[in-house]
Every structure is written in structure tokens, then in C-alpha cells.
């Protein structure tokens, strides 16, 4: 199984003189160098920050860019494109909204059980922040039939029965406030547990947790709770945490789940990066995938990309 992993596109109203050619070079490189009849992509994971919140693009423009990327990878099934929200994708509210989120994080979350108190009201309020740009994007891109983001649900899951894989969509931004407060997040670990229990895990070999942030952004109790759930429920499975945010590709290995971060594809003056993963279904090595990082040769007039085995 092959997965194309990109993140942090930060699409603006106008892509600009740097981002637009990079995007075109990226799509052509995928088509001409990474895709063939014998070497296909099975899935795409986009780990959030589709847009730049300060320079808000049209939803239709973002949908077209993601559609074009999927076409370049020859992925025609929308259920094989896995997209989670980043902090730029939620709707920025008023100071009163920020104060309420702060209060929920500090005073209305039962960290011992992973539950939001006054769950219905608080969860509904937090999810409203994803109804604008991100909600409209998902409706337009996926359509009603394949939209994985269900109303009043924090997280979601999509199964690939043929590949014996589960893609867990984690809304790691549910309690996000601002960049100064993104190291103490909670996500509703009980909801995460119930999601894993919602499908027959015995029919699954690989579990891909698709998220914008990693457990390093969660408060200590929440991170421990998530890791303990993975240990208890997924101990005999390959578990891969695919995320973004850091704008630089990296792999962090541990005995619970390896964390694979994609770099930023189109963000500002950063060197564009993306990753390709190959998973051997016959391999007995736990939580291991063959990972390749690609970085742009910005000074190469032919628009080449350099592959680095990671």
C-alpha cells in the first residue's frame, strides 16, 4: 500500500509567484515520476491547514487544488482522500468565544475519563467553529455520500476493507485557541476510545491516525490516555500517527505508535516538502513503513524534487 502524505498547504486567496509554480511542479512530478500502472497510490492524507486563515481563499479554489492533487495521484475515490482540520481551518471567533473555549479546557473537561462536561452544549459550541470554511470545503469536496465528518461527532473513521486498514480522523484542534496555547490541548479521549470500539478491529491490520497535531501538543493526562488506549486496544496492530503543523518532515519512533510528520507543501518561504509511505502487508516488523521525504529544488529550473530515504 502506498500513501501520499502532504500537510500545511496554507492556500491563500492568491497563491502568489512562489506557491503556484511549486504546486504545478508538484503535480507534474507526481504524475511523471511517482505514479505508474505498477506503482499506484492507494490513499492521500492531508494533515490540515488547507488555508491561510488571515488571507482567506474561496472554498471552491481550495476544492479545485485538492481535486487536482488527487487527480495527479490518480485517486478517484473521495473516500481515499483523508483530510483533517488544522488550526487555520477553523473559524476564528470573538474574544467571548476564546474565553469559553479556555473555560472548557480548564474547568469543563474530566481528564480522568476523557469527557467534556455538559457534553452536548460544549461539544456543539466547539464544533460550530468547523462549520464555516472547513465544513463547506468537506461538503463540496466529499459530497453528502462520502463526507466523513458527521454532525455532532468530534472524530471519525473510514475503513479500507481491501487493505485491512482503518483511517482515524482526529480533530486535534477541537480545543485550539491560539499559537501560544497549543501545547496543552485536549481532544476527548473517551470519544477516541469509542471510535476505536466502533469497528471490528480484528479485521484491521493497519491503523492510521490522521491528525494535525501530535500527542506532544496534548496535556500530559490526555497524551497518556491516548497512548494507553492504543496500547490496550491496538497492541497487535500497526499504528501510524500521520500529522503536520511543524512545517518540517520528521519521524519519532516509540513503542506505542511512530509519529510521521509531513512538511509544509506551500507555506511561505519554507522549503516545500511532502512524503510517500510504502507499507508491506506481509512484513512482520511492527509500526514500520518505508518512508521517503521529497524536498523541492527551488533553484532547479526544471522543477526537480530530491528524494531522501528516511
List the chain domain ranges.
2-309
Stretches in the chain below the pLDDT threshold 70 = 14-19, 267-269, 281-288, 296-304, 309-310
| 245's grid cell | 503543523
Longest CA pairwise span in the chain (Å): 57
Report pLDDT for 136.
96
Question: Counting beta carbons within 10 angstroms of the beta carbon of residue 226, is it exposed (0 to 12), middle (13 to 18) or buried (19 or more)?
Answer: buried
Report pLDDT for 81.
98
Report pLDDT for 133.
96
Report pLDDT for 282.
63
Report pLDDT for 302.
47
Question: What's the CA gap between 80 and 82, in Å, rounded?
Answer: 6
Beta strands in the chain (DSSP E): 2-6, 43-46, 81-83, 109-110, 115-116, 156-160, 165-169, 206-210, 238-243, 250-252, 258-261, 273-278, 290-296, 305-309
Instruction: Please answer whether residues 253 and 269 qualify as being in contact, where contact means their C-beta atoms are separated by less than 8 angstroms.
Output: no
Question: What's the CA gap between 196 and 115, in Å, rounded?
Answer: 16
Report pLDDT for 267.
64
In the block, which residue shows the cell 460544549? Answer: 122
CB neighbours of 270 closer than 8 A, spacing ≥ 6?
247, 248, 263, 264
Report pLDDT for 150.
83
Question: What's the CA gap between 161 and 166, in Å, rounded?
Answer: 8
What is the fold of 2-309? Purple Acid Phosphatase; chain A, domain 2 (3.60.21)
Report pLDDT for 17.
44
Distance of CA 60 to the CA centre of its chain: 20
Report pLDDT for 181.
81
Report pLDDT for 130.
96
Amino acid at each position: 500500500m502506498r500513501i501520499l502524505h502532504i500537510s500545511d498547504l496554507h492556500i491563500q486567496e492568491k497563491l502568489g509567484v512562489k506557491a503556484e509554480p511549486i504546486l504545478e511542479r508538484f503535480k507534474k512530478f507526481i504524475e511523471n515520476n511517482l505514479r505508474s500502472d505498477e506503482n499506484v497510490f492507494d490513499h492521500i492524507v492531508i494533515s490540515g491547514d488547507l488555508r491561510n486563515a488571515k488571507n482567506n481563499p474561496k472554498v471552491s479554489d481550495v476544492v479545485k487544488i485538492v481535486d487536482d492533487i488527487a487527480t495527479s495521484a490518480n485517486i478517484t475515490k473521495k473516500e481515499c482522500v483523508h483530510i483533517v482540520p488544522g488550526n487555520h481551518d477553523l473559524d476564528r471567533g470573538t474574544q467571548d468565544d476564546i474565553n469559553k473555549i479556555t473555560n472548557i479546557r480548564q474547568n469543563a473537561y474530566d481528564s480522568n475519563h476523557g469527557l467534556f462536561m455538559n457534553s452536548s452544549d460544549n461539544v456543539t459550541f466547539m464544533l460550530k467553529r468547523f462549520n464555516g470554511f472547513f465544513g463547506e470545503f468537506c461538503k463540496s469536496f466529499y459530497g453528502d455520500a462520502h463526507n466523513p465528518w458527521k454532525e455532532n461527532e468530534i472524530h471519525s473513521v473510514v475503513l479500507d476493507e481491501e487493505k485491512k486498514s482503518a483511517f482515524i480522523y482526529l480533530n486535534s484542534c477541537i480545543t485550539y485557541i491560539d499559537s501560544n496555547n497549543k501545547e496543552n490541548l485536549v481532544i476527548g479521549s473517551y470519544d477516541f476510545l469509542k471510535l476505536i470500539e466502533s469497528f471490528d478491529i480484528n479485521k484491521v491490520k493497519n491503523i492510521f491516525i490522521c491528525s494535525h497535531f501530535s500527542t506532544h501538543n496534548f496535556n500530559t493526562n490526555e497524551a497518556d490516555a491516548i497512548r494507553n488506549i492504543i496500547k490496550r486496544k491496538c497492541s497487535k496492530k500497526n499504528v501510524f500517527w500521520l500529522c503536520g503543523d511543524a512545517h518540517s518532515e520528521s519521524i519519532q519512533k516509540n513503542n506505542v505508535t511512530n509519529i510521521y510528520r509531513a512538511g509544509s507543501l506551500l507555506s511561505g518561504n519554507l522549503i516545500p516538502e511532502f512524503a510517500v509511505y510504502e507499507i508491506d502487508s506481509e512484513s512482520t516488523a511492527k509500526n514500520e513503513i518505508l518512508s521517503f521525504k521529497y524536498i523541492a529544488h527551488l533553484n532547479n529550473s526544471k522543477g526537480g524534487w530530491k528524494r531522501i530515504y528516511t
